[in-house]
Amino acid sequence: MLEPFDAFDVETYHLSTLEQPLPSLFWQASTEPASLAALASQTGWLDMARACAPERLAEWRAAVREAKLLRLLLDCYEQPRLLKPYLYGSEFIAHWDRAAEQWQPGAQPPAPFWVHKVSASPSRAAAELLTARVGRLTRDVCIAARIAEPAATVPVLTAESLLGIAAVEVLALATGQRRYQLCAECGRWFDKTDLRADALFHPECSKRRRMREYMRRRRQRKEEANE
């Protein structure tokens, strides 16, 4: 488990501190020290010095691997045909490929690997796999209470690890409660849950594109007026 912290409202944490959805920060990270330190800095979890400590690096490497396994299982849940290379009889087997920084079919000790018995039906197997991994990571997530003005008690989600929060987000993606999109402009993930279904750009990139288009039309009108 990553460093514990005081209980907080998960939704407020996302909206107030992160430029990208939390799971995507893990998905885009690598297990190299510089990337792990950047991930710690982006999430505000550890300062750069602590993130570079050997024991911290091991925990962050494990967290990145775990988050990328969640991504693989989410992809398989959305497209069960992707499971096929990982199925060996009645078992799902995958190992961590250090060079490729991703999970690959089969087990190759001593690399970290995961084996899980699954149903014969690909769609049911995908659901079982995602449920098993999300369930393991959300054991430290619970419902608590917070006092809000004016003296009202409201329920909040609390957690003791970033990975637990990421797992909650992945579950929300799987159930359609959240929608992520890769920005066609900057290549970063953004949460489009409250945006139009056909949104293709990060809100900041969308503003910049509109401004560029406005300036282009303005220059064009000036040029036409001077002709």
Which tokens in the block code for residue 137?
């990571």
Q: What mean pLDDT value characterizes the chain?
A: 81
Is-contact 162 174, C-beta < 8 A? no
Q: According to the model, what pLDDT value does residue 3 have?
A: 35
Q: According to the model, what pLDDT value does residue 122 have?
A: 92
CA distances from 75 to 143, 146, 208 (A): 28, 35, 31
- Peptide bond before residue 110 is cis, with ω within 30 degrees of 0: yes
Rounded-to-integer distance, Cα 141 and Cα 133, Å: 14
Q: According to the model, what pLDDT value does residue 182 have?
A: 83
Q: According to the model, what pLDDT value does residue 15 have?
A: 38
Residue 10, pLDDT above cutoff 80: no
Rounded-to-integer distance, Cα 17 and Cα 12, Å: 8
Is-contact 7 147, C-beta < 8 A? no
**DSSP code of residue 79:** -
Rounded-to-integer distance, Cα 158 and Cα 165, Å: 9
Is-contact 67 26, C-beta < 8 A? yes
Q: According to the model, what pLDDT value does residue 126 have?
A: 95
More confident position, 209 or 125: 125
Instruction: Estimate to the nearest angstrom the gap between the alpha carbon of 211 and the chain centroid.
Output: 30
Question: For the chain, how many residues are written?
Answer: 227
Q: According to the model, what pLDDT value does residue 1 have?
A: 30
Instruction: Estimate to the nearest angstrom the gap between the alpha carbon of 102 and the chain centroid.
Output: 14
| Straight-line distance from the first to the last Cα atom of the chain, in angstroms, rounded to the nearest whole number | 68
Q: Which of 49-58, 105-114, 153-162, 188-197 has the highest mean pLDDT?
A: 105-114
Q: Which residue has the tokens 């990982």?
A: 86
- Peptide bond before residue 80 is cis, with ω within 30 degrees of 0: no
Residue 18, pLDDT above cutoff 70: no
Residue 206, pLDDT above cutoff 50: yes
- Percent of the chain with pLDDT strictly greater than 70: 86
Rounded-to-integer distance, Cα 75 and Cα 215, Å: 40
Residue 188, pLDDT above cutoff 50: yes
Q: What is the pLDDT of residues 101-113, one digit of tens each?
A: 999 999 998 999 9
Q: Across residues 172-198, what is the average pLDDT?
A: 83
**DSSP code of residue 2:** P
- Best CA proximity match to 159, nearest among 141, 173, 175: 141
Residue 50, pLDDT above cutoff 70: no
For residue 189, give the H/E element and its range.
strand 189-191
- Best CA proximity match to 128, nearest among 138, 137, 143, 118: 118
Which residues are bridge partners to 113 per DSSP?
95
